[in-house]
Amino acid sequence: MSCSACQWTSLRPFLSGSLVMLCFISLFIMYRSDIKYLDFGKDSQFCPAFLCGDKAQIHHPNPKSVTKLDAENDTIVLIWMWPFGYRFELDCNTFDIKRCHLTGDKTLYQKAHGIIFNHGDMNGNLENLPKMPRPSFQKWVWSNMESPANSPRILGLNRVFNLTCNYRHDSNIQVPYGYLLPVTSEDKSFKLPAKDKLVCWIVSNWARQQKRVQYYNELKKYVKIHTYGQAFGHHISNEDYPKILSSCKFYLSFENSIYEDYITEKFYNPLIWGSVPVVLGPPKQNYEDHAPPDSFIHVNDFSSPQKLAERLLYLDQNNAEYMRFFNWRSIFKVKRSEFGREHACKTCRYLQNHKEYQAFDDLISWYWG
């Protein structure tokens, strides 16, 4: 055996081990990259009420949904802060919105046509907003789905943003909590779920000064109300939530604060799961802007909680009249808005259609009055 052959033979175990180690390191780096993408932040188990109700639903985005950037043709929307740590898929195909590049990559700041800032994640002194000068073509978008009562007032917000993205009809980019779409031939015909309860309510946020709490305390004197949620020491899982709603003839869709257009998942969820919402919130006409008048019952139509209870008990005994609350289902179906992604995609579409300069000077007065 030649000397060179001897050297090769002695090196073979070392080289084989090095190759295995190199493969391991490569796989580890790829794994860490995936984990970084799926990181939900230090408070990953937190999920806002308007998104998840009483139970957090952690959403894992699909990395394959991230499209490659075409800087010349795509509208770039930068999500500066993932809303409440919730990361969503960066894809607008669901909404048939094209040429949108959604990203959380802050290195694209100088190229971004719009930047979305979630109000609930802003520091009171706005120190977590960009420090770099704003490009002249770029628009900053203030996004918030909580009511004024549940949103901290930050005095430095005026003359900072160009656009608003909110549930209100007079925001630049309106994203309601839900909406009704026409029924298509692909949709299954509605079948009313079996009912074994008359009135139900699931609630966690409880304060005696809330109008809904005061109304409930009076209403329960005249009709049995099945109660669930943290306020009643009865935690509800994701699986139990739709089961409860569908098993009740009526559901108390009582908002925690009353503002125009503040019609939340508390209204749309019972519509989806086959219950009739009994609503306490903005005026009845405001609800009729979002859903047919025969799809819900408004407490303002009754002179007292006792009169409302009498009506509910009457409908319990008159099935033909009760079933009229579901006539709209032959025409419409309910869709919940997609928190985060729908805001970003509709922002992108707005930016594509509105390239003119815009400014929103007095956000404080507009939102908090």
List active site positions. 146
Burial grade of 104 (CB within 10 A; 0-12, 13-18, 19 or more): middle
Strand 332-336 with 178-182, pairing? antiparallel
3-state secondary structure 240-276: HHHHHHHCEEEEEEECCCCCCCCCCHHHHHHHHHCCE
Residues 61/90, Cβ–Cβ less than 8 Å: yes
Residues 241/267, Cβ–Cβ less than 8 Å: no
If DSSP codes are grouped into helix, strand and coil, which group holds residue 98?
coil
Q: What are φ and ψ of residue 326, in 5° steps?
A: -115, 10
* 309 alpha-carbon distance from chain centroid: 32
